[in-house]
A and B are shown apart, each in its own frame.
Chain A
Amino acid sequence: MNMQISRLVLGRLGVAFVTLLIVSFVVFAATQMLPGDVVQILLGQAATPEAVAALREAMHLNDPAILRYGHWLIGLAQGELGNSYANDMPVADLIGGRLANTLMLAAVTAAVAVPLALFLGITTAMYRGSVYDRIITMGIVAVISVPEFMIATLAVLTFAVWLKWLPALSFANEVTSVTEMLRVFAMPVITLCCVISAQMIRMTRAAVIDALKMPYVEMALLKGASRRRMVLRHALPNAIGPIVNAVALSLSYLLGGVIIVETIFNYPGIAKLMVDAVSTRDLPLIQTCAMIFCLGYLLLITLADIIAILSNPKLRK
C-alpha cells in the first residue's frame, strides 16, 4: 500500500462524505417544502394558540432553516431520529425490525445472484458469439428494459398462477418452519435476482472480454493452452478488479428493486415503510428512511470505486 493509493482512497472517502452532506441537505430541503404547518397537523384543529406556540418553541421551528438543519443532522448522527407523526412512536423503534427484514432479503438475494451472475458472465464471455451467448444477451436486454414490477408480475404469473408452486401475493406474518420461509422468500428473491444479475452479467462479460483481448491471452492461445485455461488462468485474474467493481455497483440496483418488490409482495421491510410514510406524509420517517437508503447506496458506490483503485495494477508497487 503506497502513498498514492492511500491518497486516492482517502480522497474517495472524502468525496463520499461531502456527497452525503449534500444529499442530507437535499432531503431536508425537500421535506421543508411541504405546505402546511407541522404543529397544526400534530395538535389538530382544536389546539389553543398558546399550545401551538409552545410546541413550535420546543421543536425549534422558530429557528432559521439552517439552524434546524444543523439540529436535525446532529440528532441523526447521535441516533435521535425523532417521533413519527402518524402514530407518535419513536422512528428508531419503527425502523429497527424492518431494517433487519430488508437486510435479510438483500443478503439472500446477493447470495443467490452473485454466483449465478458471475458464472453466466464468465461463460458467455468464453463462448462469445455462440447461440448460448446470444440467448443470454437477448435476455439481459429484455430484463434491463422492462420495469421491476413487470418482472415481479411475470414471476407471479409463472410460479403462482400457472405452475401453482408458490403462494401469489399474500405474505404470511408468522413464519414457523424452514420450508415455509423458503416459500415466502422465493418470489421476492427471484424478482430481485433478475433485476440485479442482468447488470452484473453484462459488466462481468464485458470485463472478461476486455481481458481476453490482451496480447498475453493471444500468447496463451499460440502456445496451445485450452480455452478454459486461457480464460480461468490467464484472463480472469486480471479481470477480478473490474468484476468486483461490477458486483458492488450492481448491488446498488437492489435499492430501486427493493422499493418495488416490497410493495408488490407486501414484504414488511423498510422500503414498504417508506412508501407508506410518503402516502401519509410522515416527515421524520421519510427523512430517516431516505438517509438510510442514500447511505447504503453511497457505501456500495464508494466501495466499488475503492476496489477499482486498489485493483489497478499500475498503482501497485
Chain B
Amino acid sequence: MAPMFSKGFLPTPRHFGYHMNTVGICAAAMVCFWAVVAVIGPMLSPYPPGEIVDFDYYGPMSSTLWMGSDYLGRDIFSRILMGARYTVGISLAAVCLACFSGVVLGMTAAVVGGWLDTGLSRLLDALNSIPSKLFGLVMVAAIGSSIPVLIVLLGVIYTPGAFRFARALAVNINTMDYVTVARARGERTGYLIAQEILPNITGPVLADLGLRFVFIVLLLSGLSFLGLGVQPPNADWGSLVRENIGGLPFGAPAVLMPCLAIASLTISVNLLIDNLPVKIRDRSE
C-alpha cells in the first residue's frame, strides 16, 4: 500500500541532457503545428476566408468543406486557418509585452529593494485584484476594441503576475554569494540585472511565459466571444464561436471546430510546460 507515502524517491536520470517524454514531444509537435499555421495558414486554405462558398448555412462536414460551413455559408476550415493568425499572433505579442515588462520590473525591484520594491509590489498587487475579464470589459468599453489596443490591454492585465513571479525568483538569486561579490566589485544595477540575475532565471521565466500565454489565449477568446475582442470582418477563434453560436442547437461543426482549435492549442501548451525537461523546469522551485 505504501507507494503514496514513500518519500524522497528520486529516480536516477538516464539522460543527463534535455530529455522529454512522449506526451511532451506530442504537445511540442502540436504547438509547432499551430505556430506554422499562424504564419503560412492562409496560403494553405482551400477557399478565401471571407467568400461564401456554400448555399446552405451551418452545413455539415463534407469532402469539399472539411469542417462544414458557417452562418453565411463560408468555409470554416479556411476561417480557422486565418483565425490562428489572430489568436496566436495577438496572444504572443501580448505575452511578450507582459513578460518583458513584468520581468524587467521584477528584477529591478528585487535588486534595488527598499521603497521602490514595496511601492511597485503594492501597486501591482492592487491591479492584480481586479478580475481580468472585468478589467478587459471596462477598458474595451472605454477605448474601443482594435488589435493594438487588445495587445496592450492583455499585456497590462498579465504584467502583475509576471512581475510577482520574476521578483520572487530574483529575490532568491539576489542573496547568492556571487551577486554579493559583484556588488562589492562596484558593478552597476544594470549589470547586476543583465549579467548576474537574468541568466539564472531564464528557464523558469520561459515556462511561466508559456502558462501566461494560455491565460491570454483564454481571455482573448473570452473577450472575442462576448463581441469585444477582434472585430468583424476579421475573426479569431473566439469570434468564430460567437458568430456561429446560433448553430449550437443543430450541433453544427461550425461551433465545435473553433472550440476544438482553442482547446488543442491551450491543452498542448499546458502539457508541454508540465513535461519540460527537468533541467529547465525544476529551477523554478
Of A2-10, A74-82, A259-267, the segment with at least 4 beta carbons within 8 Å of chain B is A259-267
**Selected contact of A30 from candidates B123, B142, B218, B274, CB within 8 Å:** B142
* Residues in A whose Cβ lies below 8 Å from that of B133: 255-256, 259-260
B-chain residues with CB within 8 Å of residue A281 when the two chains form the complex: 141
With contacts A145-B263, A146-B266, A290-B138 taken as known, whether A23 is within 8 angstroms of B228 at the C-beta atoms is: no
Say how far A12's CB is from chain B's closest CB, in angstroms: 12
The reply to whether the CB of B179 lies closer than 8 angstroms to some CB of chain A is: no
Assembled-state Cα–Cα distance A279/B137 (Å): 10
CA distance A217 to B143 in the complex (A): 56
Flag if A157 contacts B248 (CB, 8 Å): yes
A18 proximal to B (CB < 8 A): yes
Instruction: Report whether A147 and B134 are in contact in the complex, using a CB–CB cutoff of 8 Å.
Output: no
Which residues 269-289 of A sit at the B interface, judged by CB distance below 8 A? 274-275, 277-279, 281, 286
Residue among A153, A156, A298 with the highest chain B CB neighbour number at 10 A: A153
Of the candidates B125, B218, B249, B266, the one whose C-beta lies within 8 Å of that of A169 is B249
Q: In whole Å, how far is B271's beta carbon from the nearest beta carbon of chain A? A: 7
Q: Does B131 lie at the interface of the complex (its beta carbon under 8 Å from any beta carbon of A)?
A: yes
Tell me if B115 is interfacial: C-beta within 8 Å of chain A.
no
Within A136-163, the residues touching B (CB, 8 Å) are 141-142, 144-150, 153-154, 156-157, 160-162
Return chain B residues, CB-CB under 8 Å to A43. none
- Answer whether residue A129 sits at the interface, using C-beta atoms and an 8 A cutoff: yes
Mask, A6-39, CB within 8 Å of B = 1, is: 0000000000001100110011001111100000
Chain A's closest residue to B227 (CB) is A279
Query: Of residues A30, A127, A145, A260, which shows the largest number of chain B Cβ atoms within 10 Å of its Cβ?
Result: A145
* A156 engages B137 (CB within 8 Å): no
Pick from B125, B134, B139, B263 the residue with the most CB of A within 10 Å: B134
- Label chain B's interface by main secondary structure: helix
Complex Cα spacing A255 to B222, Å: 13
A147, B262: Cβ atoms closer than 8 Å: yes
B55 interface residue, CB < 8 Å from A?
Answer: no
A211 adjacent to chain B (CB < 8 Å): no
Q: Does A218 contact B (CB under 8 A)?
A: yes
The complex places the Cα of A157 from the Cα of B123 at a distance, in Å, of: 43
Give the contacts of A142-190 with B (CB-CB under 8 A).
142, 144-150, 153-154, 156-157, 160-162, 168-169
B7 & A213 in contact (Cβ 8 Å cutoff): yes
Q: CB distance B142 to A31 under 8 Å?
A: yes
Given the complex, which residues of B lie within 8 Å of A156, measured CB to CB? 248-249
Q: In B129-155, which residues have CB < 8 Å from any A CB?
A: 129-135, 137-143
Tell me if B270 counts as interface (CB < 8 A to partner A). yes
Residue of B nearest to A168 (CB): B249
B residues less than 8 Å from A260 (CB atoms)? 133, 222, 225-226
With an 8 A cutoff between CB atoms, is B214 at the interface? yes
Task: Tell me the dominant secondary structure on chain A's binding face.
Answer: helix
B251 within 8 A of A: yes
Specify which of B214, B241, B274 is in contact with A153 (CB 8 Å cutoff). B241
Residues of B close to A30: CB separation below 8 A: 138-139, 141-142
Q: By the criterion CB–CB under 8 Å, are A150 and B131 in contact? A: no
Does B255 make an interface contact (CB < 8 A)? yes
A301 touches B129 (CB 8 A): yes
**Contact of B3 with A by CB under 8 A:** yes
Task: Look across to chain A and name the residue whose beta carbon is closest to the beta carbon of B141.
Answer: A278
Q: Is A293 an interface residue (CB 8 A)?
A: yes
User: Considering only CB atoms, which chain B residue lies closest to A294 in the complex?
Assistant: B130
B124 to chain A, nearest CB (A): 11
Whether A212 is near chain B, meaning CB under 8 Å from some CB there, is yes
Contact status B138-A145, CB under 8 Å: no
B96 contacts the other chain (Cβ, under 8 Å)?
no
Chain A residues contacting B222 (CB-CB under 8 Å) are 147-149, 256, 259-260
Measured CA separation A127–B1 after assembly (Å)? 10
A279 to B214, CA, bound (A): 26
Q: Are B126 and A147 closer than 8 Å at their CB atoms?
A: no
- A146 B267 Cβ-Cβ under 8 A: yes
B144 to chain A minimum Cβ distance, whole angstroms, is 8
- Which single residue of chain B is at the shortest CB-CB distance from A26? B130
Is B245 located at the chain interface by the 8 A CB criterion? yes
Let me know if A221 is at the binding interface, CB within 8 A: yes
Q: How far is the CA of A193 from the CA of B251 in the complex (A)?
A: 23
Which residue, of B132, B137, B141, B271, has the highest number of chain A Cβ atoms within 10 A?
B141
Q: Chain B residues near A233 (CB, 8 Å)?
A: none
Q: How far is the CA of A161 from the CA of B250 in the complex (A)?
A: 7
Q: Which residues of B contact A69 (CB under 8 A)?
A: none
B4 near A: Cβ within 8 Å? yes
Which residues 83-132 of B sit at the A interface, judged by CB distance below 8 A?
A: 123, 125-127, 129-132
- Verify A160–B249 contact, CB threshold 8 A: yes
Q: Which of these, B3, B125, B134, B141, contacts A255 with CB under 8 Å?
A: B134
9 contacts between A and B (CB under 8 A): A33-B142, A146-B262, A146-B266, A161-B250, A256-B222, A259-B133, A278-B137, A294-B130, A298-B129
17 new A-B contacts, CB < 8 A, other than A30-B138, A153-B248, A221-B5, are A22-B126, A27-B138, A31-B141, A33-B142, A127-B4, A129-B4, A148-B222, A149-B259, A157-B248, A157-B251, A160-B249, A168-B249, A169-B248, A256-B131, A278-B138, A286-B141, A294-B134
